[in-house]
Every structure is written in C-alpha cells, then in structure tokens.
C-alpha cells in the first residue's frame, strides 16, 4: 500500500520587485506610495528607488561635489519659464564625443543601480518599488539621443542583461495635452514641449506592445488606478503566504509546550 503523496511545498516568500514608470505627471509618485502601502499590508518591508538616465541621486551628488570643487554654486540656472527638453543637460550636448561620454557614465550608473543596488535591497529582505525602470531609460535615450542609437551599444545590452527582472512593470500613460495641463497646474519648472511628450507616448506604447511593461490608463481617478494596480500585482505574485511569526511569539509557544512535557512523562 503506497503512502500518502508528497505535501505541496509552501509558497516562497521572496520579496517582490515592482517597477512603475510612464509619462511625466501621470501620477507615478502617488501610485508608488499606494504600492508601498499595499506591499506593507502583505507583510513585506518595502522601500523605493528613484532613477533616471543620468539623473540618479548618486550622479547628482557627484555633480554637486564637482561643482563645489570648481567653485560653483551647484544649483540650476534659469527661471524655468521656457519650455525645454528634459533632461536639460542632454539637450545641450552638441558634440558626439560629449554625448558618448554622457551616455557612458549614465549607463554605468544604471548598471550599478539595476544590477547591484536593487538586488542588494532584496537580498536584505526588502520589497522594492522602482520609480522608473529600463522602459523609461529606453524612452529617454530614444527621444533625447535618437542619432546615437544607444540601445545598440554593448554597454546598454549589458545593462539590459544584468538588470534584475521586476515581478511587475507598469507604465502609466496619459496624453501629451493632459501631461502639460497637470504640469502647468502644479507649477512645475521644467516642462517638455508637446511634440516631445508625443514622441515619448509613442515609444511607451511600442514598449508596452513588446510586453516589457503593462500599459495603464492614468487619466482615470487615482483610486481606480491604485485598485487596478493592486489587482494586476496580485495576479502576478499569486497567493501570498502568511507572514512569519515574530521570534518572541515562537519562543513563547515553545516555552508553553516545554512546560506541559512533564505532565506527559509523570
């Protein structure tokens, strides 16, 4: 007579990585906070990372340090009233050599961020919500450096190959007109022209068609978007195992069992 079959293995409690990107003023910050709260409800210890090609906190800190060494103030110039492409520094690079150097440093920074920093956070037990990801980097490079074909370079291929794969990647999409309206309503200083925003939207839709990110209609009410993202994330992550008991609770239960053992041996 054969014994009982093997018991099903419990679901692994690996901290998830969620990427959220998309159009400017699409509500990424708000939805990032909602995702952090949701992951905390599931028993995770969530953190977030913000990144953009050439503009991570790591690079911005290095730029400020270099400006101080040169005796500069380290701040941005201009009153911000003029429509201009973002990143602002990228739009000023006329020399192919300078563009190559700029993109090389930016890609090395992204390689460290996506292949090392995010993995390290997850290894330490954190769920990670990434505010902008590879999809956004692709769009930035295609729109700001179309003539340089950065995605054909071996360094970009290395970044794409070694970057940790998120469990879910969402792209919040709104029209260029809506993006401009929200930017002006919030008093944002750096605003892209409508034609640049339109080019970004085209690229985001192309990326969504490849399956690298899920397109999300961000013109809806924020609460509906948050509910939509929760449902999509739940479908991606599958059943969630119960959170582990605190150590104190485990020791307390063990001591109670130990106190009952003499009753069985007497």
The full length of the chain comes to 266
Domain ranges, ordered by start, for the chain = 17-265
Cis bond upstream, residue 87 (ω within 30): yes
**pLDDT attached to residue 68:** 73
At 130, the pLDDT band (50, 70, 90 cuts) reads very high
Q: pLDDT, tens digit, for every residue of 132-179?
A: 999 999 999 999 898 899 999 999 999 999 999 999 999 999 999 999
Query: Cβ of 68: how many Cβ atoms within 10 Å?
Result: 11
Q: Is the pTM of this model over 0.85?
A: no
128: helix, coil or strand? strand
Query: Cβ of 136: how many Cβ atoms within 10 Å?
Result: 27
Tokens of 220: 């809806």
Q: pLDDT, tens digit, for every residue of 223-233?
A: 999 999 999 99
User: Smallest Cα–Cα separation from 22: which of 167, 164, 139?
Assistant: 139
In this structure, are residues 126 and 13 in contact, taking their beta carbons and an 8 Å threshold?
Answer: no
In this structure, are residues 180 and 191 in contact, taking their beta carbons and an 8 Å threshold?
Answer: yes
Query: For residues 89 and 258, what is the distance between their CA atoms, to the nearest angstrom?
Result: 68
Query: For residues 250 and 75, what is the distance between their CA atoms, to the nearest angstrom?
Result: 53
Q: pLDDT, tens digit, for every residue of 7-25?
A: 443 344 789 999 999 999 9
pLDDT at 115 over 70: yes
Q: pLDDT, tens digit, for every residue of 43-101?
A: 999 999 999 888 777 776 666 776 677 776 555 444 433 444 445 556 567 888 988 99
**pLDDT attached to residue 235:** 92
In this structure, are residues 171 and 135 in contact, taking their beta carbons and an 8 Å threshold?
Answer: yes
- For tokens 């990585």, name the residue: 17
**pLDDT attached to residue 63:** 66
Query: Cβ of 71: how many Cβ atoms within 10 Å?
Result: 7
Range with lowest mean pLDDT among 6-10, 85-89, 111-115, 196-200? 6-10
Question: Fold for domain 17-265?
Answer: Rossmann fold (3.40.50)
């Amino acid at each position: 007579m054969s014994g009982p079959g093997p018991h099903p293995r419990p679901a692994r409690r690996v901290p998830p990585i969620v990427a959220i990107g998309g159009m400017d003023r699409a509500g990424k910050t708000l939805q990032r906070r909602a995702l952090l709260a949701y992951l905390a409800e599931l028993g995770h210890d969530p953190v977030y990372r913000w990144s953009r090609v050439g503009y991570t906190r790591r690079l911005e800190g290095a730029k400020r340090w270099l400006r101080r060494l040169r005796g500069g103030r380290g701040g941005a110039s201009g009153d911000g009233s003029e429509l201009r492409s973002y990143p602002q520094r990228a739009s000023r690079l006329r020399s192919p050599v300078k563009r190559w150097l700029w993109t090389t440093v930016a890609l090395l920074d992204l390689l460290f961020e996506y292949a090392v920093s995010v993995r390290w956070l997850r290894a330490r037990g954190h769920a990670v919500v990434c505010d902008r990801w590879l999809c956004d980097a692709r769009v930035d490079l295609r729109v700001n450096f179309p003539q340089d074909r950065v995605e054909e370079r071996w360094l970009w291929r290395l970044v794409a190959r070694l970057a940790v794969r998120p469990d879910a990647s969402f792209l919040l999409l709104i029209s260029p007109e809506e993006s401009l309206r929200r930017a002006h309503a919030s008093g944002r200083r750096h605003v892209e022209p409508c034609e640049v925003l339109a080019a970004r939207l085209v690229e985001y839709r192309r990326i969504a068609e490849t399956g690298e990110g899920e397109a999300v209609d961000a013109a809806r009410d924020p609460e509906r978007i948050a509910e939509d993202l929760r449902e999509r994330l739940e479908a991606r992550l599958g059943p969630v195992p119960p959170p582990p008991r605190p150590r104190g609770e485990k020791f307390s239960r063990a001591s109670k069992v130990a106190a009952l053992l003499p009753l069985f041996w007497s």
